């Protein structure tokens, strides 16, 4: 029986998780592959720390080239993350004819086209199940079981840290800062959790999903992103009064020649299936033209779930190598010659309903002034909540609108925020019904 040899570059949380799966489930994996799969070498700058998994010290090296240059190694697993060395390692490994597995969402989102092209040019496979949704096999579903569909709508809760924070805020009405502090203490968030809470991490993952859906790398910088840092318990409570739940969503919609692509806090109806995805869980809700609505739910991060996803890619590649399969599945499961470029619809041209919270002095006529500005910008109001007079300070005026154009909304808010009766910046949350057709 042949023996597939794997090299792992990066022995942090995910690397240790992948190694742990390969070690604990070696017999299952042999049955799946029809050959045994062995880790020949693990490279990391730190070869001394205890990773919580027993590992033969002889496997460890600080030199990644010992993996990339080793002719015996069939599969290179890149798990260092980031945009610098990781890219070089992957490109070199592919040039040397090695199949590559990576979990590097930032790299795929920002330089995916280079990697996909190189994989096809070198005739190797590039697999990245762990890059989106942790253990959730969403990449495989889009490349496989859903491959007959045009994707009309993709909505994802793709960042567990921000979903944890929003869940806590939605249940206990703690302010953002207090929740983050606790999440850091409990190990649910990094300190500071910048890329998690500012939407960057979710946008990276969205870029990958869009590329898979439409068969072409997307321009990452064109994805609009906005984080959760300015959300308050008050806004979450008002949203609930209107029958909504606030989630940080990554959204993509097919709009014919263009695609909507954005990450920001969204008010979705409380009975939408994504509204019930809580704590550190991730979920991806998809609508295909034939399959209709689908949901995939699971743990989006963590050593064991992410290790599960990395090893599923190793199994698939190892099976092909053991079977001497020469055929190649393109990284995005579309053949390049059919590829079209994807352009992202400018944010300002989108239309949707909005939630506004205005901070205004408590004086007669203020509501009329604000709604006057909205009316001039073609924004019509469906509901208003105006809370009773407070002894000190301004009163919040909360509104939901009909569908309005983002560009008009931004202009109106800018006018309103400069009014002398308005005491603070207006808070805005976009509203979504959660279905593909408006």
Q: Where do contacts with a second copy occur on this chain (CB under 8 A)?
A: 17, 20-21, 24-25, 27-34, 129, 135-141, 144-150, 215, 273, 276, 288-299, 302, 304-305, 307-309, 311-312, 314-316, 319-320, 323-330, 333-335, 338-339
433 is catalytic: no
244, β-bridge pairs:
269
Nearer to a second copy, 1 or 391 (CB): 1
The minimum distance between CB 395 and a second copy, in angstroms, equals 36
| Distance separating alpha carbons of residues 410 and 428, to the nearest angstrom | 10
Query: 368-375 — which CB contacts under 8 Å span 24+ positions?
Result: 369/419, 369/421, 370/397, 370/416, 370/419, 370/422, 371/399, 373/412, 373/415, 373/416, 373/419, 374/399, 374/401, 374/412, 374/416
The minimum distance between CB 391 and a second copy, in angstroms, equals 40
Kindly state the DSSP code that residue 223 receives in the 8-state scheme.
Answer: S
Outline where DSSP puts E strands in 201-315: 224-225, 244-255, 258-269, 281-288, 292-299
Nearer to a second copy, 168 or 334 (CB): 334
Nearer to a second copy, 30 or 96 (CB): 30
Nearer to a second copy, 227 or 434 (CB): 434
Nearer to a second copy, 185 or 325 (CB): 325
3-state secondary structure of 87: helix
| Distance separating alpha carbons of residues 397 and 416, to the nearest angstrom | 12
| Distance separating alpha carbons of residues 212 and 193, to the nearest angstrom | 27
**Alpha carbon of residue 415 to chain centroid:** 34
The minimum distance between CB 46 and a second copy, in angstroms, equals 24
Closest to 93 in 3D by CA, of 76, 71, 115, 108? 76
Out of 87, 98, 168, 205, the active site residue is: 205
Instruction: Give the dihedral sign, CA 316/317/323/327.
Output: positive
Q: Quick check: 406 and 347 in contact, CB under 8 A?
A: yes
Kindly state the DSSP code that residue 131 receives in the 8-state scheme.
Answer: G
The minimum distance between CB 136 and a second copy, in angstroms, equals 6
| Distance separating alpha carbons of residues 399 and 323, to the nearest angstrom | 62
Nearer to a second copy, 311 or 412 (CB): 311
The minimum distance between CB 275 and a second copy, in angstroms, equals 10
The minimum distance between CB 368 and a second copy, in angstroms, equals 43
260, β-bridge pairs:
253
Kindly state the DSSP code that residue 388 receives in the 8-state scheme.
Answer: P
Which residues are known catalytic residues? 205
């Amino acid at each position: 029986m042949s023996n597939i040899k794997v090299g792992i570059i990066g022995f942090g949380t995910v690397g240790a998780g992948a190694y742990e799966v390969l070690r604990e489930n070696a017999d299952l994996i042999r049955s799946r592959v029809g050959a045994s799969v062995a880790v020949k070498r693990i490279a990391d700058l730190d070869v001394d720390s205890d990773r919580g998994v027993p590992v033969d010290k002889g496997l460890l090296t600080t030199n990644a080239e010992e993996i990339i240059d080793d002719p015996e190694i069939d599969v290179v697993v890149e798990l260092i993350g980031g945009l610098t060395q990781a890219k070089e390692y992957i490109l070199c490994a592919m040039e040397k004819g090695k199949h590559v597995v990576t979990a590097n969402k930032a790299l795929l989102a920002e330089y995916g086209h280079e990697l996909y092209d190189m994989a096809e040019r070198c005739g190797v496979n590039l697999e990245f199940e762990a890059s989106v949704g942790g253990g959730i096999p969403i990449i495989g579903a889009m490349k496989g079981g859903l491959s007959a569909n045009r994707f009309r709508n993709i909505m994802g809760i793709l960042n567990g840290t921000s979903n944890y924070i929003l869940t806590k805020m939605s249940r206990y009405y703690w302010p953002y800062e207090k929740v983050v502090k606790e999440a850091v203490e409990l190990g649910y968030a990094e300190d500071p959790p910048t890329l998690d809470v500012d939407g960057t991490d979710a946008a990276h993952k969205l870029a990958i999903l869009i590329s898979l859906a439409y068969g072409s790398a997307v321009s990452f910088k064109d994805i609009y992103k906005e984080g959760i840092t300015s959300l308050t318990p008050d806004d979450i409570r008002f949203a609930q009064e209107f029958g909504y739940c606030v989630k940080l969503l990554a959204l993509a919609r097919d709009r014919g020649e263009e695609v909507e692509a954005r990450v920001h806090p969204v008010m979705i109806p409380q009975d939408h299936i994504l509204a019930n995805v809580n704590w550190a869980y991730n979920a991806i809700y998809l609508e295909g033209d034939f399959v209709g609505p689908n949901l995939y739910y699971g743990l989006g991060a963590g050593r064991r779930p992410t290790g599960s996803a990395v090893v599923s890619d190793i199994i698939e590649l190892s099976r092909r190598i053991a079977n001497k399969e020469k055929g190649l599945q393109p990284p995005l499961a579309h053949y390049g010659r059919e590829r079209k470029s994807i352009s992202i619809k400018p944010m300002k041209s989108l239309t949707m309903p909005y939630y506004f919270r205005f901070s205004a002095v408590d004086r007669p006529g203020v509501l009329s002034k604000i709604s006057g500005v909205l009316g001039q910008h073609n924004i019509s109001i469906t509901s208003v909540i105006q809370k009773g007079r407070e002894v000190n300070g301004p009163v919040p005026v909360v509104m939901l609108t009909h569908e309005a154009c983002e560009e008009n909304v931004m202009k109106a808010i800018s006018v309103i925020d400069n009014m002398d009766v308005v005491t603070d910046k207006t808070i805005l949350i976009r509203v979504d019904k959660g279905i593909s057709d408006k």
